[in-house]
Amino acid sequence: MKIKNMLMAPGLAAVLAVAACGGPEDFAAVLDDAVAKGLPGVALYVRADDGGVWTGHAGVSSIEDGTPLGADDKFLAFGVAQPFLAVTVMQMADEGLFSLDDTVPSLAGLDLVYEVPNVQKITLRHALRHTSGVFDYVETFGFQQAFLGENFDPDRVWTPLETLSFVSGRGYRPTFGPGESLEFSNSNTTLLGVAVEAVAGRSLGEELQDRIFDPLAMTSTRFGGADGLVPGYATLAANVVDYGIGAEIPEARAGLLNLSGVDPSWAWAAGGIVTTIADLGGFSEALFAGDLLSPDSQQALTDFQPPSWTRADDEVMEFSLGLMRRQTDGGPAIGHEGAGNGFESMMYRFPDLGITMVAVTNSSGQRATLEMVLQGVIDLVRKGDNAALFGG
């Protein structure tokens, strides 16, 4: 969720292993550093092109109980869930079930989405590249008030049309016309999911299971539901609480808000995948190896074209049909990231460094700290001692 928040978790200090140059000396130390700076728990997967793999975790799965984070603990994928959706859409296009230039209502039926601005002109390609212009429902006050307002109900199961209703009708004008510009919007993923279900004649979860989870033996991964998740933590900024968001929840005032029991259906196609670090690592390997798509679709998945999008933190993001690209001092990073509901994730391939990394944490609102994990991985790999890093 994009409500601005910051988690402070006292009592979680970890000892940082420091090399002679003053930085973390291995991947484990990178995670310890992130926990010392506030992440309750964090897990990391790093794979080198030569086959070396490192997976580890640090911190706790439960702040209340002090339970150490485990290798098999389950997180919500959030931003990393969106490449799963892109693969599903492009597989279906490869099979001739539709064209990426088909409009959403031509597939889903106009009666379902007719109030979404410009929807009769919005194609699957627009939605995949975030060039539809449809406002992000997560950013609307209406949704945030309904989600964490006075009638807050963690067990509420949201439907895609309920979330789209916050950007439908006359309440929110489109940011721009379809294809005219680019701005990330979770509403695009909902439109894609609705189209997938209409064409497939079954649920998005069933499509993901048959197309990705089962073929990749992702036995610890499912779509939907909060059961079995580690707790996810966030705090709401005081001005947000004063505005009425979360004001009825005592923990929002106290600063620690455990959102792990909230049903993730509100995020649906944008983030509702429950998974583990190992399963995400396996997916990232198959994704970037081209094992999931035809050669043409794989090329489209990594074909980044203007325009770009500058986030609120001034990070410039480019988009292809399902992935984003940003520049780092380790070269371009290709993949996806995102946060919500007390979880945050990132999955990136670094062609110049010859590695792929996946990181997940059970907190939201601490992107800067998770960014330290990404930077720590880059710094270590740039030193060039992969044999030591991966235990070779």
At 345 the pLDDT is 96
pLDDT in tens, 232-262: 987 666 666 766 667 667 676 666 678 877 8
Total count of residues recorded for the chain: 392
**What letter represents residue 96's amino acid?**
G
* Cα Rg of the chain (Å, integer): 20
Question: What does the alpha-carbon distance between residue 22 and residue 376 come to, in Å, rounded to a whole number?
Answer: 12
Q: Cα dist. 355→159, 279, 347 in Å?
A: 38, 17, 11
* Banded model confidence at residue 275, pLDDT cuts 50, 70, 90: very high
pLDDT at 55 over 90: yes
Q: Cα dist. 27→32, 44, 170, 204, 359 in Å?
A: 9, 8, 50, 35, 11
Question: What does the alpha-carbon distance between residue 109 and residue 117 come to, in Å, rounded to a whole number?
Answer: 15
48-76: average pLDDT: 94
Residues 6, 239, 269: CA angle, nearest 5 degrees: 55
- Is the CB of residue 38 less than 8 Å from the CB of residue 366? yes
Residue 197 neighbours by CB under 8 Å, 6+ apart:
108, 203, 204, 207
Q: Percent of the chain scored above 90 by pLDDT? A: 68
Comparing CA positions, the residue from 263, 245, 250 lying closest to residue 342 is 263
125-131: average pLDDT: 97
Residue 313 neighbours by CB under 8 Å, 6+ apart:
367
Question: What does the alpha-carbon distance between residue 106 and residue 156 come to, in Å, rounded to a whole number?
Answer: 30
pLDDT at 18 over 60: no
At 57, phi and psi to the nearest 5?
A: -155, 160
Comparing CA positions, the residue from 378, 380, 306, 383 lying closest to residue 349 is 378
Q: Is 169 helix (H, G, I), strand (E, B) or coil?
A: coil
What is the H or E stretch that residue 82 is in? helix 82-94
* Banded model confidence at residue 205, pLDDT cuts 50, 70, 90: very high
At 250 the pLDDT is 66
pLDDT at 14 over 90: no
At 16 the pLDDT is 31
Question: What does the alpha-carbon distance between residue 73 and residue 78 come to, in Å, rounded to a whole number?
Answer: 16
Chain-centre distance for alpha carbon 182 = 18
Q: Percent of the chain scored above 70 by pLDDT? A: 88
Question: What does the alpha-carbon distance between residue 296 and residue 312 come to, in Å, rounded to a whole number?
Answer: 33
pLDDT in tens, 66-102: 999 999 999 999 989 999 999 999 999 999 999 999 9
At 169 the pLDDT is 75
Question: What does the alpha-carbon distance between residue 76 and residue 276 come to, in Å, rounded to a whole number?
Answer: 9
Which range, of 130-134, 268-272, 288-292, 362-366, averages the lowest pLDDT? 362-366
Q: Is 156 helix (H, G, I), strand (E, B) or coil?
A: coil
* Banded model confidence at residue 212, pLDDT cuts 50, 70, 90: very high
Burial of 200 (0-12, 13-18, 19+ CB in 10 A): middle
Higher per-residue pLDDT: 276 or 247: 276
Q: Which residues pair with 328 in a beta bridge?
A: 331
At 2 the pLDDT is 32
At 256 the pLDDT is 66
27-389, CATH topology level: Beta-lactamase (3.40.710)
Q: Which residues pair with 275 in a beta bridge?
A: 75
At 364 the pLDDT is 85
Mean pLDDT of the chain: 88
